[in-house]
Amino acid sequence: MRRMFGFLIGILVGALVGSSIALLLAPESGEEIRAQLRERGQNFLGEIRSSVDTRRIELTDKLDSMRLPRHNLS
């Protein structure tokens, strides 16, 4: 699990660095670049929040199912 988490963080950081460099080297005005960076940052944070919420729901459901009493059917 830790290796997967590290891999995903590496992908996210690489994507952020790559997109930032591409935007800085693009032949556009500073205002346009700032607007694009702001928009991408907001989209990125929205995706993270969505992923966190989804994972929280999954873990809550799993915890709730583990708290249910087990019935011995033997």
Question: What is the rounded radius of gyration, in angstroms, for the C-alpha atoms of the chain?
Answer: 20
How many angstroms separate the CA atoms of 15 and 7, rounded? 12
pLDDT band at 31 (very low <50, low <70, confident <90, very high): confident
Euclidean distance between CA atoms 13 and 19, whole angstroms:
10
CB atoms inside a 10 Å sphere around CB 23 = 15
The answer to whether the beta carbons of residues 68 and 61 sit under 8 Å apart is no
Rounded to the nearest integer, the mean pLDDT of the chain is 85
Q: What tokens appear for 50 in the block? A: 């969505």
Residue 49 has a pLDDT of 92
Is residue 6 scored above 60 in pLDDT? yes
pTM equals 0.50
